[in-house]
Amino acid sequence: MNGGAVWWVFFYALSAFTLFNALLVVTGKNLFKCALHLMLVFLGVAGLFLLQGAFLLAGVQTLIYTGGVTTLILFAIMLSEEVVGRQRQLVSRGVSIGISAAICFLGIALTIFGTAVAQLPENYGVHIAPVAQFVAEASHLPMGNVRAVGVALLTQFLVPFEFASVLLVVAVIGAIVIARLAGGK
């Protein structure tokens, strides 16, 4: 996957795009603009997935995040803010606290990553379960990725797959009950 120079160009462009938008989301004044920048972040992340060859994941990410979650955020903003009129400025408080927390996390994370990557044994991942064998050859072809994920989901990871679906159903019903209960209409 890590191709030649073009790959790196795309990588840096996309990551810069994503980080820039993430910063805008965090420091934006108008809530609605933050939501749009969040959408751009999602698209950036989807692009990064593509670079990694995770095609199905990019599609799923775009469908669920940019299509669904962003719309959800927009509806939440509209329902909770005054529809039109004074746009309440988002006063950020304790900016210093935030920055310090972010930086110390960054430090910790980078040190861990640095040490972890160095100590990895070279043959990591050699012992592959039998089913994964089929998955192995298929995962490189673009079409293969989609097929591979599909097959893996229904064979190796069937139990979590079912759990996820149950969780989703519960989440949807829960959300409706909360919104309706409070709403009363």
Site for another protein in 103-142 (CB under 8 A): 103, 105-106, 109-110, 113, 117, 120, 124-125, 128, 132, 135-137, 139-140, 142
Smallest separation (angstroms) from another protein to the CB of 45: 5
SS (H, E, C) the chain: CCCCHHHHHHHHHHHHHHHHHHHHHHHCCCHHHHHHHHHHHHHHHHHHHHHCCCHHHHHHHHHHHHHHHHHHHHHHHHHHCCCCCCCCCCCCCCHHHHHHHHHHHHHHHHHHHHHHHHHCCCCCCCCCCHHHHHHHHHCCCHHHHHHHHHHHHHCCCHHHHHHHHHHHHHHHHHHHHHHHHHHCC
Q: Verify binding: residue 10, another protein, rule CB under 8 A.
A: no
Smallest separation (angstroms) from another protein to the CB of 151: 10
- Six token digits for residue 155: 């064979």
Q: How many residues bind another protein (CB under 8 A)?
A: 114
Q: Verify binding: residue 59, another protein, rule CB under 8 A.
A: yes
Interacting residues with another protein between 29 and 58 (CB under 8 A): 30-36, 38-39, 41-42, 45, 48-49, 52-58
Residue choice 11, 119, 123, 162 for contact with another protein (CB under 8 A) = 11
Q: Verify binding: residue 13, another protein, rule CB under 8 A.
A: no
Smallest separation (angstroms) from another protein to the CB of 50: 10
Residue choice 148, 158, 159, 162 for contact with another protein (CB under 8 A) = 148
Interacting residues with another protein between 85 and 104 (CB under 8 A): 87-88, 90-95, 97-99, 101-103
Smallest separation (angstroms) from another protein to the CB of 182: 3
Residue choice 157, 158, 159, 162 for contact with another protein (CB under 8 A) = 157
Please tell me the distance from the alpha carbon of residue 143 to that of residue 148, in angstroms, as a whole number.
9
Q: Do residues 145 and 55 lie in contact, with contact meaning Cβ atoms separated by under 8 Å?
A: yes
